[in-house]
Chain A
């Protein structure tokens, strides 16, 4: 059996090897800080910076701007979000037609949600329809959004397009905007930590093809599998 011929590494030996790897505490702190900043935990970043004696690489005020914008979208105040993004850097929306469309789509959804049907139709005609003409790829999404008007407001959330009204939709729009703001501030749009986790899983998979060793299966607890020597 091929598996039997695979080299095995015991848990003790594995832990010994791991212990031999020197990891700089400061690097770990930076990873955490990177996560806090990108996810927008301004207060936590501030506190953590004090405790770990770490200067955040960006101005914390920029996190605040970003979070205000994000919260505005999550609250459904799209106009406010647009206004604030433009205050920050008008290029963000100028250069991302898709993002701008999604924001306006969200605004349309909010108008429909609040029952402003007339205003919603006007807005769709004035703003979204011309945009769809310029970018045909937006049309399908626009049509789907307009389908919201076809359903009875009472049962709207149960309709086939009801997912648009879901909080997840706001969340999606907010994340897209957050990423664009991060890019405009020349910051990473994704924290490094999840990428490292993915790399860990991938590396374990690669190693597993050649060697038996104690693996971390539960990433939340980071505990090792049973010792392969004993199984």
Chain B
């Protein structure tokens, strides 16, 4: 019985070379016997081949060194040709060598961290094609081994390459690679629910689902395959409802949910969601959004740990598709809250994870540095909670109301002081904190909660402390800071500073004053951080008094920290002359262009500029003196020219980022910026004769404003009317003169054209603007006089935070983490609880709460749906 394997177990380098040599001989013999149709020869040589393969496998398993030696001796090429040869062997001889050869492939590829596998391709000379081909084998053991081998090959080439910087994300497959349709269909068929016709064992379905997940992450599935796979996977999950924790059905559900999550994140995410929620020709795979929601909610409730993690993941991805109704949060929220409260971080990790849930434990074994499954589950549950809370005001209130201690728990996690959290590896600790922060951010979208629970819990101070610790504090100059965490914390602050009235805003600047950190973040290399920081500053400036404004821009007297600075602000707006920067190439801005985030930053910076000028004449003076009158006018001229270039509005359809870094649906990137510039002009036009005079001195500005009367967006047309109204106010000394100048450049004719505008606001303001030209100045519309500033304040008050219902569910997708594939790696997440881009712009999705004010006012929005 002893020594079933010959001396091959002794394994010097020579031994490995000899093994590879023996394999080559056996393969050649088999090949020759096949060529001459020598049945006896085939049987003998095939059995010899099988034996050598087993020796190779036994040598390779468990020893990274030996794997290296085997590959150096040329095993990879040999394996490829062997795998091409084996299917030609007559059954049943071929099965065993096939399984063994495939397990050698898995074993070699599984150790990619020590063995640099070449970039995988579907080139015939590489291992993947013959491995894929064996997926269609009739013997399930071969299919099983082929699935494992294919997964190992994909994993080693996409995920775990040592040279691959995790932060850079997994490399996508080269664009020209696509899974051959025949293989795709074989693979997808493995996902079909077992039936009399296709009795695919659950184990294979689970393996196939995980392979589909990998293929989706490597972006090599075509959209048809992705959609088809998604509907089958959904059916798998549905079929597993009621499966017990740890049962094969539960494991299959976990794999299916993982694959669904990967598909919902992949290149064909929209097709997949379409298929799941509506189905082709209106017939959804599962009978509609409600059913899929029930299914996911069921899995969040009843599954094993891993199932729950992936169900949460799928859930965080679903809200970005507007078909999913409020039903989603209603059904899933209770389960999530339960999950979160059942997994507080202060339970020692040992107790958290050790349980009957073997699949999770196994994952830990295979990912030695990965975080604990309990921690991952907590992070996933929090991320899903963030997504659920972002859906609607009722769901936010429900989150806080249903679990009394949820806020303290969130704050506790966000603060990161928990001993057990600190004992975890930094990545998993950060993932939990990021997810908790994202939930806080989601909750902070609610004006009601901001005034009550969140204010009581002093959440703003907690977020400030996080930013202080990460950006400044012990970490020094921001090196090694956790960017996702800071991003979420700053995003949460955005909503909080917006709510703060005057005293609130000043309190925000109390120690730990995050202002210097926010200012330094506007210069950070990460565009998402820049964007969130300037967004937050913009909201801080909104409705702020002169003191706060000066703190933000010029810095506080006596404080070592300087403010943002006028030059830096101009820089963030795109510089004095955006054309010089763009080289006139904006029309060619592609989706991948680095300038995309820059444009979003630019819009926010311009909005900040606009918010500075809201208030009293001194505020406009502040801008004039800070920037210099001549520079300001040049700045406005250049930016208006840039915004109106080519004059055909809306043709430069491109996209920009929202705070999650998700691209907004196609909207004219210039429109948003243009509106801010326009309102900056409106604000300046409210000012003194000197301010108005400066505008009137620039023909470029006056001509540019004219063009906005033909702008497709009513907001822009209205804004242009406000410029005219403010310049021609009846009480002002210089109005008659200005009226004559504006008449000469045919303002009245342009305004007349929009008197029958489809938009009632535009009509109203156009009429007001036109009235001025008929009489001696404007007497209708908004009245203000020297003493009228207070009125304006009241007007703004009264408009308050009016809710505008936007189109459908907000863009609340939780962006998932850097690393593909594994829940362990998820870092960033969170619902975009964000101040959305400008209200007057074209809003892709998501309703907004417009912190509206009179035209001429600043703008700052917090998103709501």
Residue pair B3, A94 in contact (C-beta under 8 Å) = no
Given A184-B362, A186-B359, A187-B358, are A83 and B110 neighbors across the interface (CB < 8 Å)?
no
What sequence of 0s and 1s flags, for each residue 320-354 of chain B, a beta carbon within 8 Å of any chain A beta carbon? 00000000000000000000000000000000000
Among the stretches B53-61, B442-450, B735-743, the one at the interface with A is B53-61
Residues of A within 8 A of B11 (CB): 126-127
Q: How far is the CA of A91 from the CA of B152 in the complex (A)?
A: 11
What sequence of 0s and 1s flags, for each residue 95-116 of chain B, a beta carbon within 8 Å of any chain A beta carbon? 0000000011011001100000
Q: How far is the CA of A186 from the CA of B202 in the complex (A)?
A: 12
Residues of A within 8 A of B365 (CB): 95-96, 183
Q: Which one of A79, A100, A182, A184 contacts B3 once the chains associate, using CB atoms below 8 Å? A: A79
Q: Does B247 have its Cβ within 8 Å of any Cβ on chain A?
A: yes
Q: Which one of A95, A130, A189 contacts B366 once the chains associate, using CB atoms below 8 Å? A: A95
Residues of B within 8 A of A82 (CB): 58, 61
> Could you say which of B57, B63, B247 has the most chain A C-beta atoms within 10 Å of its C-beta?
B63
Residue pair B361, A86 in contact (C-beta under 8 Å) = no
Residue pair A183, B9 in contact (C-beta under 8 Å) = no
Residues of A within 8 A of B247 (CB): 57
B762 to chain A, nearest CB (A): 65
Q: Does B406 have its Cβ within 8 Å of any Cβ on chain A?
A: no
Residues of A within 8 A of B362 (CB): 183-184, 186
What sequence of 0s and 1s flags, for each residue 233-258 of chain B, a beta carbon within 8 Å of any chain A beta carbon? 00000000000001110010000000
Residues of A within 8 A of B110 (CB): 91, 94-95
What sequence of 0s and 1s flags, for each residue 66-101 of chain A, a beta carbon within 8 Å of any chain B beta carbon? 000000100111011011001000110111110010
> Could you say which of B1, B10, B61, B246 has the most chain A C-beta atoms within 10 Å of its C-beta?
B61
Q: How far is the CA of A82 from the CA of B65 in the complex (A)?
A: 18
Q: Does B163 have its Cβ within 8 Å of any Cβ on chain A?
A: no
Given A90-B106, A94-B107, A183-B358, are A77 and B54 neighbors across the interface (CB < 8 Å)?
no
**Interface of A: prevailing SS:** helix
Residue pair B358, A186 in contact (C-beta under 8 Å) = yes
Q: How far is the CA of A127 from the CA of B54 in the complex (A)?
A: 18
> Could you say which of A77, A79, A134 has the most chain B C-beta atoms within 10 Å of its C-beta?
A79
Q: Does A15 have its Cβ within 8 Å of any Cβ on chain B?
A: no
Q: Does B559 have its Cβ within 8 Å of any Cβ on chain A?
A: no
Residues of B within 8 A of A41 (CB): none
Residue pair B54, A186 in contact (C-beta under 8 Å) = no
Residue pair A188, B107 in contact (C-beta under 8 Å) = no
Q: How far is the CA of A187 from the CA of B359 in the complex (A)?
A: 8
Residue pair B57, A90 in contact (C-beta under 8 Å) = yes
Residue pair A97, B4 in contact (C-beta under 8 Å) = no
Residues of B within 8 A of A127 (CB): 11, 63
Residues of B within 8 A of A189 (CB): 358
Q: Does B91 have its Cβ within 8 Å of any Cβ on chain A?
A: no
Given A86-B58, A126-B11, A188-B356, are A183 and B103 neighbors across the interface (CB < 8 Å)?
no
Residue pair B1, A90 in contact (C-beta under 8 Å) = no
Q: How far is the CA of A91 from the CA of B106 in the complex (A)?
A: 8
Q: How far is the CA of A134 from the CA of B64 in the complex (A)?
A: 10
Q: Does B5 have its Cβ within 8 Å of any Cβ on chain A?
A: yes
Q: Does A123 have its Cβ within 8 Å of any Cβ on chain B?
A: yes
Interface size on B, residues (CB 8 A): 35
Q: How far is the CA of A123 from the CA of B3 in the complex (A)?
A: 14
Q: How far is the CA of A75 from the CA of B2 in the complex (A)?
A: 10
Q: How far is the CA of A126 from the CA of B104 in the complex (A)?
A: 21
Interface residues in B4-31 (C-beta closer than 8 Å to A): 4-5, 9-12
Residue of A nearest to B65 (CB): A130
Q: Does B62 have its Cβ within 8 Å of any Cβ on chain A?
A: yes
Residue of B nearest to A114 (CB): B2
Q: Does A163 have its Cβ within 8 Å of any Cβ on chain B?
A: no
Q: Does A122 have its Cβ within 8 Å of any Cβ on chain B?
A: yes
Residue pair A83, B58 in contact (C-beta under 8 Å) = yes
Residue pair A97, B54 in contact (C-beta under 8 Å) = no
Q: How far is the CA of A192 from the CA of B246 in the complex (A)?
A: 13
A50 to chain B, nearest CB (A): 22
Q: How far is the CA of A161 from the CA of B488 in the complex (A)?
A: 57
Interface residues in A171-205 (C-beta closer than 8 Å to B): 182-184, 186-189, 192
Q: How far is the CA of A134 from the CA of B67 in the complex (A)?
A: 15
Residue pair A186, B248 in contact (C-beta under 8 Å) = yes
Residue of B nearest to A96 (CB): B365
Residue pair B62, A93 in contact (C-beta under 8 Å) = yes
Residue pair B356, A79 in contact (C-beta under 8 Å) = no
Interface residues in A99-131 (C-beta closer than 8 Å to B): 100, 122-123, 126-127, 130-131
> Could you say which of A82, A100, A192 has the most chain B C-beta atoms within 10 Å of its C-beta?
A82
A134 to chain B, nearest CB (A): 7
Residue of B nearest to A72 (CB): B1
What sequence of 0s and 1s flags, for each residue 765-776 of chain B, a beta carbon within 8 Å of any chain A beta carbon? 000000000000
Given A79-B2, A91-B148, A126-B11, are A86 and B359 neighbors across the interface (CB < 8 Å)?
no
B587 to chain A, nearest CB (A): 53
Residue pair A86, B1 in contact (C-beta under 8 Å) = no
What sequence of 0s and 1s flags, for each residue 188-208 of chain B, a beta carbon within 8 Å of any chain A beta carbon? 000000000000000000000
B246 to chain A, nearest CB (A): 7
Q: How far is the CA of A189 from the CA of B3 in the complex (A)?
A: 29
Given A79-B4, A188-B246, are A86 and B358 neighbors across the interface (CB < 8 Å)?
no
Residue of A nearest to B152 (CB): A91
Q: Which one of A90, A97, A126 contacts B107 once the chains associate, using CB atoms below 8 Å? A: A90
Q: How far is the CA of A92 from the CA of B576 in the complex (A)?
A: 64
Residue pair B4, A186 in contact (C-beta under 8 Å) = no
Residue of B nearest to A107 (CB): B9
Residue pair B10, A100 in contact (C-beta under 8 Å) = no
Q: Which one of A86, A123, A134 contacts B61 once the chains associate, using CB atoms below 8 Å? A: A86
Residue pair B58, A94 in contact (C-beta under 8 Å) = no
Given A91-B110, A126-B12, A188-B246, are A83 and B358 neighbors across the interface (CB < 8 Å)?
no
Residue pair A77, B57 in contact (C-beta under 8 Å) = no
Residue pair B103, A90 in contact (C-beta under 8 Å) = yes
Residues of B within 8 A of A90 (CB): 57, 61, 103-104, 106-107
Residue pair B57, A86 in contact (C-beta under 8 Å) = yes
Residues of A within 8 A of B4 (CB): 79-80, 83
Q: How far is the CA of A93 from the CA of B64 in the complex (A)?
A: 12
Interface residues in B180-223 (C-beta closer than 8 Å to A): none
Residue pair B54, A83 in contact (C-beta under 8 Å) = yes
Residue pair A122, B2 in contact (C-beta under 8 Å) = no
Q: How far is the CA of A216 from the CA of B365 in the complex (A)?
A: 38
Q: How far is the CA of A187 from the CA of B251 in the complex (A)?
A: 11
Interface residues in B819-855 (C-beta closer than 8 Å to A): none
Residues of A within 8 A of B57 (CB): 86, 90
Residues of B within 8 A of A91 (CB): 106-107, 110, 148, 366
What sequence of 0s and 1s flags, for each residue 53-92 of chain B, a beta carbon within 8 Å of any chain A beta carbon? 0100110011111000000000000000000000000000
Q: How far is the CA of A97 from the CA of B368 in the complex (A)?
A: 11
Q: How far is the CA of A57 from the CA of B244 in the complex (A)?
A: 11
Q: How far is the CA of A164 from the CA of B443 in the complex (A)?
A: 60
Given A79-B2, A83-B5, A94-B111, are A100 and B62 neighbors across the interface (CB < 8 Å)?
yes
A96 to chain B, nearest CB (A): 7
Residues of B within 8 A of A75 (CB): 1
Given A83-B54, A83-B58, are A77 and B2 neighbors across the interface (CB < 8 Å)?
yes
Residues of A within 8 A of B361 (CB): 183
Q: How far is the CA of A127 from the CA of B104 in the complex (A)?
A: 19
A103 to chain B, nearest CB (A): 9
B151 to chain A, nearest CB (A): 11
Residue pair A97, B62 in contact (C-beta under 8 Å) = yes
Residues of A within 8 A of B104 (CB): 90
Instruction: Name 10 A/B residue pairs within 8 A (Cβ), A-sorted.
Output: A72-B1, A79-B5, A79-B9, A90-B103, A91-B106, A91-B107, A94-B62, A95-B366, A100-B61, A126-B10
Q: Which 9 A-B pairs have the closest CB atoms?
A: A100-B62, A93-B62, A90-B103, A90-B61, A93-B61, A77-B2, A90-B107, A80-B4, A95-B366
10 extra interface residue pairs, beta carbon distance < 8 Å, beyond A94-B110, A127-B63, A184-B362:
A77-B2, A83-B54, A86-B58, A91-B107, A94-B62, A127-B11, A134-B64, A183-B361, A183-B365, A186-B246
